[in-house]
A and B are shown apart, each in its own frame.
Chain A
Amino acid sequence: MNTATTESEAKVVVKDLHKVFGNKPDIAMQMLREGRHKDEILKQTGQVVGVLDASFQINKGEIFVIMGLSGSGKSTLIRLLNRLIEPTAGAIIVDGEDVATMSKEKLLNLRRKDMSMVFQSFALLPHRTVVENAAFGLEIAGVEVKERERRAMEVLEQVGLNTFAKHLPAQLSGGMQQRVGLARALTVNPSLMLMDEAFSALDPLRRTEMQDVLIKLQQEQKRTIVFVSHDLDEALRIGNRICIMEGGRVVQVGTSDDILQRPADEYVKAFFTGVDTNKYLTAKDVAQKEQVTIFDHPDEPAAGFSAALERMRLYDRVYAFVLDEQHKVLGIVSVESLMACMNDPSKKLRDALLPGKEAIPSSMPLNEVLRKVVEYPCPLPVADEHGEYIGAITKTVLLRKLCKEKTA
């Protein structure tokens, strides 16, 4: 995709768009014009500035990804485009007409014929079948049953769901439900599609699969797609151009190469180079269940040393984690510590625990985990907020994760 665009290629032009949440937007707008910061406005007037002076252009036939962390205003911005949220000031020009000032009838017509939306939670109507859901937009527009179901079936076939037409949404998996959501948006044959975190609720495998479906559909029939996402991988994979938002402000718009090579500021840089990702990732994101765990049964007479040693030998491990019956991590044992206690009949499994080696909380940020991993001779057990074992972090796993983050 080329980045140099002219007005004639633009599908959507957003100019000086603002959104203030609250009952006194005029005062907030006045303060913004005076150059006051939005935190100051919130403190003094209680008005929340959701989107602040957004201006950009979306080209015909491109996938335009709006990216940012949660609270950056990206979901508000996409809802301003079809006026699910009323803009406070500014213009949203779609095909030469300003959505922000357009009459109710015109707006309804635009939403019915030319603009559709896909939602994060799918937002299917639970009491309708798949085909009825897919035909929803046409039904609202007053197309008669036979015709709208015929068109819905065509689209369901495109997304591979024609055999499930008579099912209810609740009978489908998440990935399939979002295919219905996509079909519902496609059935009205819009030239502009808004997708709000459309694949974020899906597991990584389904997410990639749905991205492929979208890209394939896009090759068959070019539409303009505005896609909100917080996932960098996703943005780079499907986006022709990316718009980065922070604190309600559009920080940078460009192709991924543009942004990678010439980041507008430190925030964008941090987003793309992965320097700071350690801060956002925690132990939980890295932990894997590959270690030997031993259950401690304190009430049983036999301490269970031999069984523990046998299992460690079987899996070729030198260290193992001891859990109680509630899966709480008690500590770490080694072959050596077990051997040392084995011949003393008064000793229990708990006596073989290595001193000072405890589980780390799942919420620990990666840069701290990094330090711990160096300190420990063995994999780090990770426990959730209730102390229950959720997995372990080895040096190899951690390094691999960090490398991936850097190159992303």
Chain B
Amino acid sequence: MSYKIPLGEWVANGVKWLETNDHGIFNQIGTVINGTTSGIENGLLAIPFVLFAAIFVGIGYWRRGWQFALFCAASLWLISNMGFVNQTLVTLALIISATMISLALGIPLGIWAGRSDRAESVIRPTLDFMQTMPAFVYLIPAAMFFGLGRVPGVIATVIFAMPPVVRLTSLGIRQVNKEQVEAGIAFGCTPTQLLVKVQLPSAMAALFAGINQTIMMALSMVIIASMVGAGGLGNDVLSSISRLDIGLGFESGLGVVLLAIMLDRITESFGVKKAAR
């Protein structure tokens, strides 16, 4: 080995260059994300937890029936009993804001990839890169650009959680029956009409599966994002690791699991309902 390509150096230099030359824009993005996330967080913390739990159980009953509502009630009670109410709500706020950004960017990207082979050929490898790069790595530049706190956490989460919704939206659009698309065109659809009236309705089930996956990925990433100070349940997980506290580790981990199951089952039900119609 005589010569090592300074790949890492290039990237580091590039990030540094961006940091010094584009500070204004990053600041603005940071302010917007911070505002949104803390807004959601404050909103969730402002309502009494009992009311929050009641709403959650109600949604559980509406989407899946009384057994699941019971499960939600028990889970939320256990979370409050373990003393994780605030952390759980902070985590939920992070998930909601990261998911909203992911969907706002991901769904249009997915539609574009679903309709254009050229777009797909660029977007797919990018998504592969985003998904397979170890999630921790995003935390470094994110923290450099945005400082510590929830903003780099949300940004890293968006990068990590966006791929599924892009992929599944694209897949859903590509899987629409060929003759249905032809019928749309044959009856005089413009490209927009074709998308809204033929392709998207048929792609709905796949799209909801993508949203569900994105939420799940966001949940796992916001826990990791506690390393840059995003807060929430991740903080407890992190401190249990640093102190080798098995008890705390299990409890906080269980909190994450319960939150994950509730979110998964509820969002999944939207996709199933659409598909069954």
Q: Are the chains A and B members of one assembly?
A: yes
A116 to B183, CA, bound (A): 9
| Beta-carbon contact of A137 and B277 below 8 Å | no
* B202 located at the interface, meaning its Cβ lies under 8 Å from any Cβ of chain A in the complex: yes
Residues in chain A near residue B197, CB distance under 8 A:
125, 136, 139-140
Specify which of B179, B188, B277 is in contact with A109 (CB 8 Å cutoff): B188
| Beta-carbon contact of A84 and B179 below 8 Å | no
* A394 located at the interface, meaning its Cβ lies under 8 Å from any Cβ of chain B in the complex: no
| Beta-carbon contact of A140 and B193 below 8 Å | yes
| Beta-carbon contact of A111 and B277 below 8 Å | no
Q: Which residues 92-124 of A sit at the B interface, judged by CB distance below 8 A?
A: 108-113, 115-117, 119-124
* B130 located at the interface, meaning its Cβ lies under 8 Å from any Cβ of chain A in the complex: no
* B13 located at the interface, meaning its Cβ lies under 8 Å from any Cβ of chain A in the complex: no
| Beta-carbon contact of B177 and A84 below 8 Å | no
* A188 located at the interface, meaning its Cβ lies under 8 Å from any Cβ of chain B in the complex: yes
Q: Which residues 196-255 of B sit at the A interface, judged by CB distance below 8 A?
A: 197-198, 201-202, 204
* B190 located at the interface, meaning its Cβ lies under 8 Å from any Cβ of chain A in the complex: yes
Contact code string A34-52 (vs B, CB < 8 Å = 1, else 0): 0000000000000000000
Residues in chain B near residue A116, CB distance under 8 A:
186-187
* A59 located at the interface, meaning its Cβ lies under 8 Å from any Cβ of chain B in the complex: no
* B182 located at the interface, meaning its Cβ lies under 8 Å from any Cβ of chain A in the complex: yes
Specify which of A108, A113, A184 is in contact with B190 (CB 8 Å cutoff): A108
Residues in chain B near residue A194, CB distance under 8 A:
186
A119 to B198, CA, bound (A): 15
Decide: A123 near B188, CB < 8 A? Known: A140-B193, A140-B197: no
Residues in chain B near residue A115, CB distance under 8 A:
186
* A399 located at the interface, meaning its Cβ lies under 8 Å from any Cβ of chain B in the complex: no
| Beta-carbon contact of A119 and B179 below 8 Å | yes
| Beta-carbon contact of B202 and A127 below 8 Å | yes
A60 to B116, CA, bound (A): 39
Decide: A123 near B201, CB < 8 A? Known: A84-B186, A112-B187, A117-B186: no
A194 to B183, CA, bound (A): 11
Name which residue of chain A comes closest to B204, CB basis: A127
Decide: A84 near B277, CB < 8 A? Known: A123-B177, A127-B201, A140-B193: no
Residues in chain B near residue A122, CB distance under 8 A:
179
Name which residue of chain B comes closest to A139, CB basis: B197
Specify which of B182, B193, B204, B277 is in contact with A123 (CB 8 Å cutoff): B182
Specify which of A82, A109, A112, A123 is in contact with B180 (CB 8 Å cutoff): A123
Q: Shortest distance in angstroms between B189's beta carbon and chain A's nearest beta carbon?
A: 5
Residues in chain A near residue B201, CB distance under 8 A:
125, 127-128
Residues in chain B near residue A110, CB distance under 8 A:
188
Decide: A84 near B193, CB < 8 A? Known: A120-B179, A127-B201: no
A124 to B277, CA, bound (A): 14
| Beta-carbon contact of A112 and B182 below 8 Å | no
Specify which of A113, A117, A127 is in contact with B277 (CB 8 Å cutoff): A127
* A141 located at the interface, meaning its Cβ lies under 8 Å from any Cβ of chain B in the complex: yes
A256 to B189, CA, bound (A): 37
* B144 located at the interface, meaning its Cβ lies under 8 Å from any Cβ of chain A in the complex: no
Residues in chain A near residue B179, CB distance under 8 A:
119-123
Q: Which residues 42-63 of B sit at the A interface, judged by CB distance below 8 A?
A: none
* A126 located at the interface, meaning its Cβ lies under 8 Å from any Cβ of chain B in the complex: yes
A124 to B183, CA, bound (A): 8
A392 to B44, CA, bound (A): 73
Residues in chain B near residue A124, CB distance under 8 A:
180, 183
Residues in chain A near residue B105, CB distance under 8 A:
none
Name which residue of chain A comes closest to B274, CB basis: A127
| Beta-carbon contact of B183 and A117 below 8 Å | yes
| Beta-carbon contact of B187 and A84 below 8 Å | no
Residues in chain B near residue A123, CB distance under 8 A:
177, 179-180, 182-183
Specify which of A84, A109, A139 is in contact with B185 (CB 8 Å cutoff): A84
Q: Shortest distance in angstroms between B155's beta carbon and chain A's nearest beta carbon?
A: 36
Residues in chain A near residue B202, CB distance under 8 A:
125-127
Decide: A84 near B182, CB < 8 A? Known: A121-B177, A140-B193: yes
A10 to B217, CA, bound (A): 62
Decide: A141 near B177, CB < 8 A? Known: A84-B182, A119-B182, A127-B202: no
Residues in chain A near residue B204, CB distance under 8 A:
127
| Beta-carbon contact of B187 and A188 below 8 Å | yes
Contact code string A154-180 (vs B, CB < 8 Å = 1, else 0): 000000000000001000000000000
Decide: A136 near B187, CB < 8 A? Known: A125-B198, A125-B201, A127-B277: yes
A116 to B186, CA, bound (A): 6
Residues in chain B near residue A120, CB distance under 8 A:
179
Name which residue of chain B comes closest to A108, CB basis: B188
Specify which of A82, A127, A139, A141 is in contact with B186 (CB 8 Å cutoff): A82
Binding site for A on B (CB under 8 A): 177, 179-180, 182-190, 193, 197-198, 201-202, 204, 277
Known contacts A125-B198, A127-B202, A140-B188; 20 further A-B pairs (Cβ under 8 A): A84-B185, A108-B188, A109-B188, A111-B188, A112-B187, A117-B187, A119-B179, A119-B183, A120-B179, A123-B177, A123-B179, A123-B182, A124-B180, A125-B197, A136-B183, A136-B187, A140-B189, A140-B197, A168-B277, A184-B183
27 A–B contacts from the bound complex (CB under 8 Å): A84-B185, A108-B188, A108-B190, A110-B188, A111-B187, A113-B188, A116-B187, A117-B183, A117-B186, A119-B182, A119-B183, A120-B179, A121-B179, A123-B177, A123-B180, A124-B180, A125-B183, A125-B197, A125-B198, A125-B201, A127-B201, A127-B204, A127-B277, A136-B183, A137-B187, A137-B188, A140-B197
Q: Which 9 A-B pairs have the closest CB atoms?
A: A112-B188, A111-B188, A123-B179, A117-B186, A123-B183, A137-B187, A119-B179, A127-B201, A123-B180
